[in-house]
Structure 1
Amino acid sequence: MKKKLTRRKRFVLDSSLQYRMVTRMVVAVVAAIVLFSGAFALYYWISYMSGDNLFKESVVVYKQVETVKTVTVDGKPITQRFYETQAQPATTRLQLILPALLLNNLLIMIALALMAVWYSHKVAGPVYRIKHVINRTLAGEREQRIYLREGDELKDLAEKINTLFERIDRLSER
């Protein structure tokens, strides 16, 4: 008989396991960001050493600006719209790229840290449940079974442990 499972009330079930998992995932993300940023810096350094100074290279951005003028023709006011392009102040390539790159890295790190917490919950919940059922079985309670929620990890392990419990129950009945 399948037991009806309710939603977990706590998000951090096994703090040691979950914090280790999240820390490892965050360290991997930070390492990837450092590696990417290092490759970015290496590219600019190689360009600089080969004679291109990409840091002093200016980039000019043009912006389309709308101008509205009202003129009177035959006593009727008519609105005319003119569009022209205006050059914005020159900026260096680094000033143009660096803020977007840093923001991108920060958003990726935050998103992956949240995913790490979510995924650790999908693993720590089943580990917590398996430990709890094993402890109850070791305390002498019989016919214990492990039931996991849909979407939880370690279902194959839970099934193997349930098979083990069934065999132990059958052997103890003899």
Structure 2
Amino acid sequence: MKTDQGCVVWLTGISGAGKSTIAEAIAGALRNTGKPVFPVDGDDLRGGLSSDLSFTAADRLENMRRAAELAHMASKCGLVTVVSLISPSAQGRQMVRELVRHGRFALVYVKTPIEVAESRDVKGLYKKARAGLIANFTGIGSDYEAPGNSEIVIDTTTTTPDAAAALITTYLQGKGWVS
């Protein structure tokens, strides 16, 4: 495959794991090389394209489907699409992998213990979930199934966002998806 085609980098992990921060670092690193990047953040999706969805299992799958379709279309235009989305279920992540039909897809598991994620919780979401104010919050009222088939695993307790971005960028270069 040509390197002028895009690809999809899908970052999954619990809230507060560092997905968005790593996505920003990847986007910055790739933009510095002149590669067009399209970041897709879960919070942005929930504020627009998926604002009609709740956090039930069915609505989470639909949110993932919408994000995957958007990422696939952008990657077909030659963009490196970096998606940061909790993506809590193995079923949903498999659906995403299948929707990115050209196969230029890398699942990145941003692995962080829940205690660490809670300590980083600048939005206070874990506190609200523990107080019963947020239903179906991943890791508290709803399960997160850690992926067993990710191309890359980033442990954010030992890896900085810039180091994570470098690892992911190197992976993309090794696949020939970016130069």
TM-score by length of 2: 0.28
Richer in helix (by share) = 1
Q: Which has the larger radius of gyration?
A: 1
TM-score by length of 1: 0.29
